[in-house]
A and B are shown apart, each in its own frame.
Chain A
Amino acid sequence: MTCKQYVAVDVFVDLEGGLRPTVIHWEDGRRFSIDRVYDVRQAASLKAGGCGMRYTCRVRNRVVDLFCEDGRWFLDLSRRAQ
């Protein structure tokens, strides 16, 4: 199973140009709001196969890793697989 799922994302851009993702749009049309962003850092995901700015987020009481890779966003689903 692939652990890399590209998603559409609503992003809030602050005055300094910083990005904060707010909503994840799942491929079947469902929307998941991001309750909290715990951590933001450059990181790679060997399992998903990519790297970029990693936003560790809480969505519906689960922790997910959302990556912004060169302008495209993807979810690393390997946490779910564990």
Chain B
Amino acid sequence: MTRVILHADLNNFYASVECLRHPELRDGPLAVCGDPEQRHGIVLAKNYPAKAYGVSTGEAVWQAKQKCPGLRLVKPDMPTYLRFAQGVRQIYRRYTDWIEPFGLDEAWLDLSDCGSLEAGRDLADRIRRDIAFEWGITASVGVADNKVFAKLGSDMKKPDATTVLFPSQYRQKVWRLPVGELLYIGPATTRKLYNLGLYTIGDLAQADAALLSGLLGKWGLTLHRYANGLDASPVARDGARDPVQSIGNSTTTPRDLTTCQEVRITLQALCESVAARLREGGFRARTLQLGVRDKQLFWLTRQCKLESPSCLAEELFEAAYGLFVKHYRWEQPIRSLGVRADDLLSRESAVQLDLFCRQAKRLRQEALETTVDGLRKRFGYYALQRASQLSDPSLGRLNPKDDHVAYPGGYSPMSAEVKRRDL
């Protein structure tokens, strides 16, 4: 039976929502941007008039303003975007139970029960109509017999269009596209393929599989299959989630950090958040990873094993700060910090006890931190803070746990800081 896979992509999602809500701004160039005051001043999304000026996602607001002086800036409103995304997902649910979100604005749907790609196209048109009628935004939908080409199809015609890729059209429509357009091929892989003289998806599809596996290992064979339209990966069931593999938080601080005390304050907040989320999920971590980005945007990561599996902020902090002191040379002020707990164990699983009876102290500490969780849940995050956080109000106001936006499933290419596995 032919598989019928749809990939639906909401066009310029954040910007489209804002255009719907602000009809007076709809016809001019508009961009949704983070707050430059908080140093999150990059373009998150833009509408088509802004695109015509060359404004691109991810660039700094001042750069966008240079290209397009009349650009209207709108602050992001995540709760509203989530409401729209959930509403659109409700529409998908009328058609299938097999929905795999890819970020907030994209999803694969398996509609194989409809029997043919032609029928899939009709359903895709209906889904687009429903989305436009009920939520006032447009979507591009790709229809193919596999996920990779469905995604490729949704990128071909924008906005508000359905593109069907029949297997008989692969050579003509897909193979002539640049190899970098294929899902999962980033700039690094593209460079490697260029070095082999493989410029288009067709070149990749016709390349010798052994050559590719020599260059890229197993991944090379996978890409070779993808290029030939032989991706057999299933669409996940609605609501299915990958098991959590790590829990992390990172933050770009309101100002550059120049002293160890400032780093301590920030790391404490991050570790408290990660520890609280570990406890909430019923995990202990065995490995801790620290990430530091300096003013020049140089990114350093170091990790260490924890002495024993832990969900205690105090122990995570000791490890994180220890890594920091050991590895950071203060050549530049710091722009952002991140802490990630890896190698997770269930909180219920057996733990090797300490020979020197630190266990009693750890249990007390765990009870204390759980109590803090409870108090914060009831009275708000700032009901209880460390004294050091009060000493520097602008850094101390950080609340990574609640500020952290949990996208409803899926990896968002927009935000490198929220990864699929970083639930």
Contact = CB atoms under 8 A, between A and B. Distances in A.
B83 interface: yes
Nearest to A47: B23
A45 B137 CA distance: 10
Chain B, interface SS category: helix
Contact of B133 (A43, A47, A48, A50): A43
Contacts of B186: none
Given A43-B133, A44-B136, A51 B20 contact: yes
A17 to B, nearest CB: 17
Contacts of B62: none
Contact of B134 (A46, A47, A49, A51): A51
* Interface size classification for chain A: 10 to 19
B22 interface: yes
A70 B83 contact: yes
A77 to B, nearest CB: 12
A54 to B, nearest CB: 9
A51 B23 contact: no
Given A42-B134, A44-B135, A44-B136, A49 B20 contact: yes
Contact of A43 (B83, B134, B137): B134
B20 A50 contact: yes
Most chain B CB neighbours (cut-off 10 Å) among A42, A43, A48, A50: A42
B132 interface: yes
Interface in B13-34: 20-23
Listed from nearest, the 7 A-B pairs whose CB atoms lie closest are A44-B136, A49-B23, A42-B134, A51-B136, A49-B21, A51-B135, A44-B135
Interface of A: 3, 41-51, 70
5 contacts: A47-B23, A49-B21, A50-B136, A51-B20, A51-B135
